[in-house]
Amino acid sequence: MSKNEWPLWEIFIRGQHGLNHRHVGSLHAPDAEMAIRNARDVYTRRNEGVSIWVVPSNAITASSPSEKGPLFEPANSKVYRHPTFFDIPDVVGHM
Amino acid sequence: MYAQLVKSEGSKTREEMSPEEIAFQERIDRGERIEPKEWMPEGYRKTLIRQMGQHAHSEIVGQLPEGNWITRAPTLERKAILLAKVQDEAGHGLYLYSAAETLGISRDELLEQLHSGKMKYSSIFNYPTLTWADIGAVGWLVDGAAIMNQVPLQRTSYGPYARAMIRICKEESFHQRQGYDIMMKMASGTPEQKAMAQDALNRFWYPSLMMFGPSDKDSVHSAQSMAWKIKINTNDELRQKFVDQTVPQAEYLGLTIPDPNLKWNEEKGGHDFSEPDWSEFFAVIAGNGPCNEERLGARVKAWDDGAWFRDGLMAHAEKAASRRHAAE
Ligand SMILES: [Fe+2]
Ligand SMILES: [Fe+2]
């Protein structure tokens, strides 16, 4: 077996409608340029995208599952961040 | 199915489970998705690697019987369509390999296990595609059976696997329809063409039924996999559904399913049908099907012949990177 395994890349694609690039999956490629070419074939065979980003998988730092509570729970109690928290009389009109 | 005989690990009673294992099972029971870096029982991880690996290998080896007809497709349009279909299967293999890699095994390791015969792929791809009608039958029946299995797997408990399945399912319907389209053309053609379509159905019917794996009473690994939601339906449930779906499709084509025992059973609300020859199934799985040697041989040859190319591109990439470093 070859010890020369191609590195892994994470692939991000922007679709037709001007939204953010979105993670679609990963693939192996020797370098960034080949990763883009391969991503074209693997992830955009049906016009799924107009732009591709590739990032070496090992360059991504992820939050750890055990931090889920401390990271995300504080937002639970802050319902006033949502517009529906406030009762505005109908007569005021759309707001 | 594409993973027909997945040995599952670590079947435990609730009393034997550790608190971590109980919490894990409860997450699955609540319908939560398990994600790569989260804690999981070793058995879950190993069983998934086996199942996803088998599934990926099937997509890749599955290109070979159809690839056989790309250069001989009857029209340029059919050729372009078949090429696109086979290219999709390469994509499916790649989605699944990278999903499996999140479990801590590399794609090269998975391939090595395929090449050494340690890991399996679906028995269906060890049958030859002798005529153009076989390409129709493969799309109609083999992709049809694959869809039957893959649709529920979109809800499987392991996040990367479920997401790969969602992508795959979006693409599969094209595969089945292009196959049925070939069958429609052949079945409404000359008597010789119709006979060819019937012959393809005759040869692919039972191997397609085998795709769902052994009968439930002989399927020892199902219970644990179903508890983990990496298997959603039993083999027999899916096989029944496949038969019921396919019967009217064959009727429309004016073709006869090669089973004298096939008949509607009002009481169970489904068809009665003959089981495939399970001794043939186990022989094919063990490596003794009509094309096992040819298929695995072609995979190993492609891998070995491609080594200089993979290494060359890697060497080029490393050289370019070190040149960039030096310039900085
Ligand atoms: Fe596929
Ligand atoms: Fe397919």
Domains in chain A: ranges and CATH:
8-92 (3.10.20.520)
- Strands B263-265, B270-272: pairing kind: antiparallel
Give A28's contacts in chain B (Cβ within 8 Å).
98, 107
Residue among A2, A25, A31 whose CB faces B98 most closely? A25
DSSP state of B152: H
User: What are the extents of the domains in chain B?
Assistant: 15-326
Residue among A5, A41, A65 whose CB faces B35 most closely? A65
Rg (CA), chain A: 21
Q: Tokens standing for B9?
A: 């690990």
C-beta atoms of A5 and B107 within 8 A: yes
Sign of CA dihedral B212, B207, B185, B243: negative
C-beta atoms of B91 and A6 within 8 A: no
Amino acid at A93: G
Residue among B98, B164, B311 whose CB faces A27 most closely? B98
H-type helices in B188-291, by residue range? 191-210, 222-227, 235-253, 278-283
Instruction: Specify the pTM.
Output: 0.93
Cβ neighbours of residue A57 closer than 8 Å, sequence gap 6 or more: A7, A8, A9, A10, A26
C-beta atoms of B37 and A41 within 8 A: no
Amino acid B3: pLDDT: 73
- B290 to chain A, minimum CA–CA distance in Å? 28
Q: Which residues of chain B from 143 to 172 reach within 8 Å of chain A, CB to CB?
A: 163-164, 167, 171
- Listed in order, strand segments (DSSP E) in chain B are 263-265, 270-272
What is the block-wise mean pLDDT of chain B (328 residues), using blocks of 10 residues? 69 83 95 93 95 97 96 97 97 96 96 96 96 98 96 96 95 96 98 98 98 86 89 94 98 98 96 97 94 96 96 95 88
Amino acid A18: pLDDT: 82
ipTM of the modeled complex = 0.88
- B38 to chain A, minimum CA–CA distance in Å? 6
Please give the Cα distance from B324 to B224 (Å, whole number): 52
Q: Tokens standing for B126?
A: 């060890």
Q: What is the pLDDT of residues A54-78, one digit of tens each?
A: 999 999 999 988 888 999 999 999 9
Amino acid A3: pLDDT: 66
A75 at B interface, C-beta within 8 A:
no
Q: Tokens standing for B278?
A: 């399970």
**Backbone torsion region of residue A25, taken as left when φ is above 0, otherwise alpha when ψ lies between -120 and 50, otherwise beta:** left
Q: What share of chain A has pLDDT > 70, as a percent?
A: 97
The matching CATH number, chosen from 1.10.760.10, 1.20.1260.10, 1.10.599.10, 2.70.150.10, for B15-326 is 1.20.1260.10
Cβ < 5 A residues, ion ligand 1: B 59, 89, 92
C-beta atoms of B313 and A25 within 8 A: no
B223 at A interface, C-beta within 8 A:
no
Dmax (CA) for chain A in angstroms is 74
Give A62's contacts in chain B (Cβ within 8 Å).
37
Question: Which residue does chain B place closest to A10, by CA atoms?
Answer: B98
